[in-house]
Chains A and B, each alone.
Chain A
Amino acid sequence: MDGNNTFDSDLIHAIFKHIWARRFRERERSDAIDATEAEIALGTTKKNRLASANANALKLSCELLKSFVSEAVQRAAIIAEAEGMDKIEATHLERILPQLLLDF
């Protein structure tokens, strides 16, 4: 958890908030589209709108994301290395991605 190696928690928080906001907007849109379904959820979604994360959760998220990203890079690097390339391409990532996603 050394601060140097983890992501900036502010950045992660900003990303989270961005996603939350977008989720909310999407939900709103879908609500408008199909109103009857939305009605039930309305009360809750609105209140859930902008979720927040407390500091520890954020810290943990940073750590998780860091390990995820580093693992992804490392695995992809292994593949890339095996192919004799010194640059990780998307295809390398694609190869390890399914298992990587399942590992997390």
Chain B
Amino acid sequence: MGSRVPIETIEEDGEFDWEAAVKEIDLACLKTTNASSSSSSHFTPLANPPITANLTKPPAKRQSTLDKFIGRTEHKPENHQVVSECGVNDNDNSPLVGIDPEAAKTWIYPVNGSVPLRDYQFAIAKTALFSNTLVALPTGLGKTLIAAVVMYNYFRWFPQGKIVFAAPSRPLVMQQIEACHNIVGIPQEWTIDLTGQTCPSKRAFLWKSKRVFFVTPQVLEKDIQSGTCLTNYLVCLVIDEAHRALGNYSYCVVVRELMAVPIQLRILALTATPGSKTQAIQGIIDNLQISTLEYRNESDHDVCPYVHDRKLEVIEVPLGQDADDVSKRLFHVIRPYAVRLKNFGVNLNRDIQTLSPHEVLMARDKFRQAPLPGLPHVNHGDVESCFAALITLYHIRKLLSSHGIRPAYEMLEEKLKEGPFARLMSKNEDIRMTKLLMQQRLSHGAPSPKLSKMLEILVDHFKVKDPKTSRVIIFSNFRGSVRDIMNALSNIGDMVKATEFIGQSSGKTLKGQSQKIQQAVLEKFRAGGFNVIVATSIGEEGLDIMEVDLVICFDANVSPLRMIQRMGRTGRKNNGRVVVLACEGSEKNSYMRKQASGRAIKKHMRNGGTNSFNFHPSPRMIPHVYKPEVQHVEFSIKQFVPRGKKLQEEYATETPAFQKKLTPAETHMLAKYYNNPDEEKLRVSLIAFPHFQTLPSKVHKVMHSRQTGMLIDAMQHLQEPTFSEQSKSFFTEFRAPLGEREELDTGLRVTNDPKDLHSVRDLEVNTSQRKAKQVESPTSTLETTEKDYEESSPTHRYLFSSECASVDTLGNVFVMPVPLLFFPNVLESDNTPLPKTEKQHSCRNTSHIDLVPVDTSEKHRQDNISCKLKERFSPDGASETLETHSLVKRNSTRVGEDDVANSVGEIVLSSDEDDCEGLELSPRLTNFIKSGVVPESPVYDQGEANREEDLEFPQLSSPMRFSNELAGESSFPERKVQHKCNDYNIVSTTTELRTPQKEVGLANGTECLAVSPIPEDWRTPLANLTNTNSSARKDWRVSSGEKLETLRQPRKLKRLRRLGDCSSAVKENNPGITEADHIRSRSRGKKHIRGKKKMIMDDDVQVFIDEEAEVSSGAEMSADENEDVTGDSFEDSFIDDGTMPTANTQAESGKVDMMAVYRRSLLSQSPLPARFRDLAASSLSPYSAGPLTRINESRSDSDKSLSSLRTPKTTNSESNQDAMMIGNLSVVQISSDSRKRKFSLCNSANAPVINLESKFAAHAQATEKESHEGVRSNAGALEYNDDDDDDAFFATLDFDAMEAQATLLLSKQRSEAKEKEDATVIPNPGMQRSDGMEKDAPSFDLGLW
């Protein structure tokens, strides 16, 4: 053998040389004959008869000798001949696969810094280049490098050739493709991995376009059979894990197919464990047409330097008491069957204790092949069943010993469920007992000694090694025990991050892992996401994970081949450690046995296995002409890009085709938003303008959805807190109601006033929507109001929200005010096109603004303003002056703010001193924007318009009002008017004149208040009226010029809306007012609408509306409203109190909040008690509204909520004004309104009064309320009386419910009012009629109440 060895090693070269030589070279060497004779023995099993025939092989030595002998001169001819010969020889290949002669002069061996040259690798690679080689190299010694070198050189030599690398599993494929790339850097555009996941049609395409394929053998087999694989171009086939090439495995099929073509190609087979038996290795050699075996052992001198120390420990684990018990039980079950078999004469040659299932299996096979001679045929079935039972039982026993009780139990249970074993064992007592015992042990936890030992090892390991860098693989044969191990590992703390790594097949109980998951697991294991893998046999082969430094074999009972593979997972980079856990007894013994047999095979493979194996000839592939010289090359290898990422990159770098069609500017724009790597920065924000989300944006064609409404509501609620915080003032509240009114007004206008409609289409839409909502249901109104709130600035919202909250029981009320404010703005903006309407709107807006300032001014700045007012309005009196002064100041400040707001626009809103004001402005602005009317700054326009209007109306009205107010009750309306005026003034210098007047009026009112505690009372009633205030505010707004009227009108409108009469009344009012009051009527209408809306929105508002409705016509409506009101008794009572809304709100839970807010504001503003303050606040608003309403009301509502106190005053003034300004109709309307209001007040007064009384009992408000009630009752009796009552109320309020004081004022007011009323009285009759109706309605209400 020794002699042969050298010969054989060179033999391969010799073969090819010989082929060439024999064919080409004539006679030549005598030695050929010798060589052929000597080599023939080796080649006996030649697969290629022609070759063998040709060969008569000269050993390599010959060749070398040949080369030596043959001079160079000879060589050249040889070469020519060789070339031609090669052409003939490679007939299959050469036409398709040309050799690059330049490249063929050398073969390249990579020298990378990271991969030092290893002699054995170099030698093997050199061999493998020229012959089919089976490389048997221990794990972790770099088989892949050899493969890569071979592949790369064939890649170079055959520019058209295709190279295939086959690995048995997808993870391995992926691993190898990367490894090969990193070794020799085959350009990635030529490489592709083909697995079953690539669809066949795509594979066919790839087979054509790529050159280096990393495939799974199954894919290769399929593609070769289907013809999609271009076999003619194949030049090199690398087979990884070649020990699988047994039987009909795809490897064998592939090679058979290729050989059948036939084509010549290089085959390189790699394995760490060629086989444990000589036959198996020979089988591989045969199947793969191997001509050379390159075997290295760890102990070989050229390998050992690179072998890391791998400590193999076999730890013997005792079976454990539990398992032992079970095992004994099992043996009890086994014994009878074994004995029976023996009785049958079956030769079980061993102690039945130590039998293995395999041995039983063998015995059964033997029995089947040669039935026992003496055994009757009938008994064969018995024997078979005994064998079957024994096999199962032994298997269970093996499981028990190697994996613990649980897997064994599960197996037993499964077997007992069905099949012959179950039939056989169903009545076996022992097996039942065994099962019970196992169950029992399991329920106690049954810690397997192996498991605990394994955990112990693991913990020790991680104590020594860093859990972050160390990796552990635990192998187990059964998935069941994998799961057990996983469970056990989950309990030992954080340092162990374990995952399972199992095959794809899904069993009944355990689901497999797809290959994708397997890869992901490996990826994470490499990266450190896991540091322990619990693997079945799938993890045994090929996984190249450098950091694994511990392998635990949970079961020792595996073949030595697999054990080597398992061991090969470690010791790759550093020293590794392998722990084999073996149960004492059979498992240990079998392990030892198998290891021994494994060692024996190694001897056969020594020296290339030439002694033991027969090899096959293989083509040299490279013509002998070329004698490639080795060239050590250092590759600069590009970073390997995993395929998935590569694809993504391709997509990413794709330049969209459409860009070519764009102009540079467009491209730039696109880049700004889409192609910027910092895409986030320029992404359109949804939250950039939260304020805008509090208002419904203007729509083009697509209406807002319910979700939008919800968003707006939510945004409003979200921003409410800011409102409350920022604006504790009532302004916001006032504004809100005003806004609502405005909205209502807008709606009314749209519906009622064609002019408005003309002016603002958008507004119309909005208003129509709003109207629809309002009409439809309170919820809809709430939505609108909410939207309005959102539109309003946070501070406003807050107040509103608080109001809303208070209203919440009423719900609608709070919301209502804000929207009204906004809407008014919109209306104004809308109106802008129409000067009149615009003016009205502006007036309203200004009035709104004014109202707010008025309130504040009343509260805080009254004194300052009062001074001015005093100066201007001496008649009002010094007492009022103080209040007016404060008002003026406030107004001025507000005005300033407004101006700013106007100038700045949206900013103004925020910048406004009073957030509320700012908010108002903002909504206005937004509305304007929506309407499109507000190009520059809506505020200015509005302000201007307002100013103009205000100047006109306020000036006119204000004097009148002032006079009235001065007279007494008029002060409230005056105040309101004044406030409005002030606001207007603020808006513009021209308005200043107005403001002073208004201020004066306010001052008067304030003076009246100041004269007595009444101011507070006023406020309180006003506060009560807050709900009404909204309306009142609306009225106020209207009143500023026409604000009073408008306010009253809104009420009417509300009534009208609810009741068919309302419209008619409004219409009547409008026509009456038309000339001078057209605007007013419109505003009124709007206001009315708003008021109605507000009413609807707010319970108070509803109450008012109800009242109005009742008064106007709809008993049902009123009844409903009343019912609603009654539902909220407090509300009702409050409402009844006159300014009911506020009272109601206050009374209600929500009211409490409102109260608190009011109190705060009041406290800050005035010394009045909290309630009073609250009331005052509310009252202020109501008052303000009251005056407006009064003015309007004097025409209509002043009688009512405001009416009681304010209405008289305002009514007087208003009536006067109205008389002056408006025609009879307006007066009538007003009167009707007032009547209605009065009625409502009366009605409300009944219940509300009580509430109010209870609340205000201690306070003057109570008196006021009483007075209100009285007034109401009076009003119920007589409208004029109502007015008087109102006056009385005012007086009472002014005088802290002292009617006497009131009487004084009333007398004045009455005188004035009477005068006015007288003028108005004429219209009143009609109103009275309506009032009569209204009275009826109130009565109904009362009845309802």
Write the residues of chain A forming the contact surface with B, with a CB cutoff of 8 angstroms: 21-22, 25, 28-29, 31-36, 38-39, 42, 67, 70-71, 74-75, 78-79, 81-84, 90-91, 93-104
Contact = CB atoms under 8 A, between A and B. Distances in A.
Contacts of B685: 94
A99 to B, nearest CB: 5
B698 interface: yes
Q: Please name the 4 residue pairs, one residue from A and one from B, whose CB atoms are nearest each other, closest first.
A: A82-B929, A35-B520, A74-B700, A35-B517
A38 to B, nearest CB: 7
Contacts of A99: 693, 696-697, 704, 708, 711-712
A98 B517 CA distance: 40
Contacts of A82: 925, 928-930, 932, 934-935
Nearest to B787: A99
Contact of A29 (B648, B707, B929): B648
A8 B250 CA distance: 51
Contacts of A33: 520
B644 A75 contact: no
Interface in B664-700: 673, 682, 684-689, 692-693, 696-700
A21 B519 CA distance: 23
Contact of A90 (B651, B684, B701, B934): B684
12 contacts: A25-B651, A29-B648, A35-B514, A67-B701, A75-B698, A79-B929, A81-B932, A94-B686, A95-B689, A98-B693, A103-B703, A103-B705
Contact of B935 (A39, A84, A93): A84
Interface in B499-515: 513-514
Contacts of A29: 644, 648
Interface residues of B, number: 47
Contacts of B696: 99
A43 to B, nearest CB: 9
Interface string B211-240: 000000000000000000000000000000
Contacts of B523: 32
Nearest to B702: A71
A36 B516 CA distance: 9
Interface in B687-744: 687-689, 692-693, 696-705, 707-708, 710-712
A42 B708 contact: no
Interface in B73-115: none
A81 B905 CA distance: 14
Interface string B631-666: 000000000000010011001000000000000000
Contacts of B704: 99, 102-103
Given A35-B519, A38-B516, A103-B707, 11 more contacts: A28-B644, A34-B520, A35-B517, A39-B517, A71-B700, A74-B700, A90-B682, A94-B686, A95-B689, A99-B697, A104-B702
Contacts of B703: 103
Interface in B1056-1082: none
B521 interface: yes
Nearest to A81: B932
A81 B516 CA distance: 56
Give chain A's interface secondary structure class: helix
B936 interface: yes
With most chain A CB atoms within 10 A of its CB, the pick from B682, B684, B697 is B697
Contacts of B932: 78, 81-82
A31 B516 CA distance: 8
B520 A96 contact: no
A101 B693 CA distance: 12
B907 to A, nearest CB: 12
B930 A103 contact: no
A36 B700 contact: no
B521 A78 contact: no
B686 A98 contact: yes
A92 B1342 CA distance: 53
Given A81-B932, A81-B935, A82-B929, A75 B514 contact: no
A25 B648 contact: yes
Contacts of B644: 28-29, 32
A98 B519 contact: no
B755 to A, nearest CB: 23
Contacts of B712: 99
With most chain A CB atoms within 10 A of its CB, the pick from B708, B710, B932 is B708
Contacts of B702: 67, 71, 103-104
Contacts of B520: 32-35, 38
B513 A39 contact: yes
Contacts of B928: 82
Contacts of A79: 697-698, 929
A78 B936 CA distance: 13
B651 A32 contact: no
Nearest to A11: B658
Contacts of B673: 90
Nearest to B906: A83
Contacts of B905: 83
A23 to B, nearest CB: 12
Interface string B573-597: 0000000000000000000000000
Contact of A98 (B514, B647, B700, B711): B711
Nearest to B706: A102
Nearest to B933: A82
A89 to B, nearest CB: 11
Nearest to A96: B697
Interface in B893-916: 905
Nearest to A73: B700
B516 A42 contact: yes
Interface string B936-948: 1000000000000
Contacts of A90: 673, 682, 684
Given A67-B701, A71-B699, A93 B651 contact: no
A100 B711 CA distance: 11
Given A25-B647, A74-B701, A101-B686, A84 B936 contact: yes
A97 B516 contact: no
A97 B519 CA distance: 43
B761 to A, nearest CB: 12
Contact of B700 (A34, A78, A101): A78
Interface in B136-153: none
A99 B707 CA distance: 8
Nearest to B692: A95
A82 B521 CA distance: 59
Contacts of A81: 929, 932, 935
A47 to B, nearest CB: 12
A29 B703 CA distance: 40
A48 to B, nearest CB: 16
A37 B548 CA distance: 26
Nearest to A68: B702
B679 to A, nearest CB: 14
With most chain B CB atoms within 10 A of its CB, the pick from A34, A75, A82 is A82
Nearest to B691: A95
Contacts of B688: 91, 94-95
A22 to B, nearest CB: 7
Given A74-B700, A78-B930, A96-B692, A102 B707 contact: yes
A38 B521 CA distance: 12
B517 A38 contact: yes
A74 to B, nearest CB: 3
B762 to A, nearest CB: 8
Interface string B476-492: 00000000000000000
B817 to A, nearest CB: 22
Contacts of B514: 35, 39, 42
Contacts of B701: 67, 70-71, 74
Contacts of A83: 905, 929
Contact of A78 (B698, B708, B925): B698
A6 B523 CA distance: 48
A70 to B, nearest CB: 7
A67 B563 CA distance: 69
With most chain B CB atoms within 10 A of its CB, the pick from A31, A32, A90, A98 is A98
B936 A94 contact: no
